[in-house]
Amino acid sequence: MNNSADKSPLTSASGLWMDFGGVDVLKDAAIELRGGEIHGIVGENGAGKSTLARIIGGVHVPRAGVIRVDGRPVHIPSPRAAMAMGIALIHQEPLIFPELSVAENIFIGRQPTHRGAVDWRRMFSEAAAILASLGVHLSPRARVGGLSIADQQMVEMAAALSQQARVLLMDETTAALTPTEVERLFGIMRRLRDHGRALAFISHRLEEVFAICDRITVLRDGAVVGQLPTKETSIDQVLKLMVGRPMEAMFARDVKHKPGQVLLEVRKLSRRGRFQDVSFDVRAGEIVALAGLVGAGRTDVARAIFGVEPADGGQVLIDGRPVRIRSPRDAMAHGLALVPEDRQHHGLLMPLNVWQNATLPVIGRLCSFGWLRNGAARSATAQYVHRLGIRLRHLEQPVRKLSGGNQQKLVLSKWLLSRPRIMILDEPTRGIDVGAKAEVHRLIAELAAAGVGILMISSELPEVLAMSDRILVMREGRLTAQFARAEATAQRIIAAATGQVCTAGAP
């Protein structure tokens, strides 16, 4: 911690009001971002966290309120104007030019020149110096498209620092990172804090907020409901401010279902360079978790089963009969559904509206003589919007304007409309808040109770331990262990995922 509380804020906002389509998403919100401090901003999806950051970062202009920089009221009409004032917004999905080099991305639109031409030597040299100041080991000449998400975020931070940014607004920047990458990012954040920068850190992961932040602002329904020094509060207290529920309510621990007959069997499934000899089964009414580190091959197995990237060898059996699945269409015909990890790129068509997205898997059922029956499509969608508690203004609303949690529930509703017998859920609660998580967990439990077989991929150990009947662990493309729910512990799962001594048998 530090003594930033004694300092004047580099940037502050007060009385901020913002609405979208007549619905208030910020209500008299206020925040102070002080130099030498990391300030956490937390709240459920739709609480106004990202909107608050985007107002300060110049993406949105509020209906009312005042923003001050170094104590002076300012107008911030655009991200360019914000950057000119030393404020940079770092997004969850890095905004980069993938075909350009690291140095070109850092200095995009501001390349140093000499006699009217780009001074490449100077640009590469200055880029290297900025990266070195962050402790980042990247070649300025590397193509950004070939970098990991974590390294792409480092490039964004370097670009901000190249423009003398003093305030960095970090919006869900750890959502797609591995634990190792998160710790590396935290090291850089601490270095920037110690050099007097002000950082705002938005995250759904409260354990990360408590690990890195000096103060925390809590939003609920667009209003600030608490501003607390981290050392004077707890995760449970913050959670109660956010959603009015204690920590134990995050997970549906009493999953009431009883496994039945085997629905899905996977036998020695392999895909060259991705995974090898993977075998397991999933029963009706059973939740089987597939755990492991990022890159262990879990998503590759799911995509192979669903026919997105068919396996090179092995068998998939449904109800004891071998099936040939060469495409998602084949998988759907056999009663399978896949809820992908990346809902925005693989789960939804962002320009389309709610009912158009929800009915995509069943569009054939909703057509007469080649024409889509729009009324039937809207009616079918409305049933699941009500059942899943999806919060929206109307069915014509573009899905890009829904919160992350509501987008995730819409992806689930889309596949539920197809009435699957087997559901593969890849990181079903990634990037959504604790309230939406609890709702998704309840839905998963209800599906299992109704006899649906569920294969759930999750990187969150509390979720794996709370929701699963059995847990399979993958490491480097192979299954390394299997645990019944009663014998599973976080330590055993981590040991199997990292190649340490395992206390339960391999499958």
Percent of the chain with pLDDT strictly greater than 70: 92
The answer to whether 413 and 358 have CB atoms below 8 angstroms apart is yes
* Residue that finishes a domain, picked among 197, 218, 246: 246
C-beta atoms surrounding 246 within 10 Å: 12
Tell me the pLDDT band of 45, cut-offs 50, 70 and 90.
Answer: low
Least confident of 29-33, 344-348, 432-436: 432-436
Which pLDDT does position 507 carry in this prediction?
47
Residue 146 lies in a domain: yes
Number of domains within the chain: 3
- Specify if 396 maps to a domain: yes
Do 182 and 145 belong to one domain?
yes
Q: Which of 68-72, 291-295, 391-395, 410-414 has the lowest mean pLDDT?
A: 291-295
**Residue 74 shares a structural domain with residue 207:** yes
Same domain, 284 and 312: yes
pLDDT for residue 433: 67
Burial of 167 (0-12, 13-18, 19+ CB in 10 A): buried
Residue 341 lies in a domain: no
Residues 204, 112, single domain; the answer is yes
173 and 70 share one domain: yes
Q: What is the mean pLDDT of residues 426-452?
A: 83
Residue with tokens 């006699």: 115
Same domain (yes/no): 30, 105: yes
342 found inside a domain: no
* Residue range of the domain that includes 394: 347-413
Rounded to two decimals, what is the model's pTM?
Answer: 0.59
Q: What average pLDDT does range 328-344 have in this prediction? A: 89
Q: What is the CATH number of the domain that holds 430?
A: 3.40.50.300
Does residue 276 fall inside a structural domain? yes
Kindly state whether residues 171 and 37 are assigned to the same domain: yes
H/E element, 266: strand 262-271
- Cβ neighbour number for residue 231 with a 10 Å cutoff: 9
Is 252 part of a structural domain of the chain? no
- Of 393, 413, 433, the residue that ends a domain is 413
Same domain, 33 and 99: yes
More confident residue, 368 or 73: 73
Please give the C-alpha separations between residue 395 and each of 98, 267, 412, in angstroms, as whole numbers. Answer: 35, 42, 16
Tell me, yes or no, whether 93 and 133 share the same domain: yes
Q: Which residue has the higher pLDDT, 368 or 21?
A: 368
Say whether pLDDT at 346 is over 50.
yes
User: pLDDT at position 154, please?
Assistant: 86
Shared domain for 155 and 300, answered yes or no, is no
Q: Does some domain include residue 185?
A: yes
Domain-terminating residue out of 219, 246, 273: 246
The answer, yes or no, to whether residue 405 has pLDDT greater than 80, is no
**Residue ranges of E strands in 4-160:** 9-20, 23-34, 37-42, 64-69, 72-74, 87-90, 113-114, 117-118
Quick check: is 251 in a domain? no
Average pLDDT over all residues of the chain? 86
- Give the tens place of pLDDT for each residue, 101-141: 999 999 988 888 888 898 999 999 999 999 988 888 889 99
* Whether 111 and 84 share a structural domain: yes
DSSP string, 270-295: EETTTEEEEEEEEETT-EEEEEE-TT
Query: Does residue 370 share a domain with residue 328?
Result: no
Q: Which pLDDT value is given to residue 1?
A: 46
Residue 233 has pLDDT above 90, yes or no: yes
Residue type, 470: R
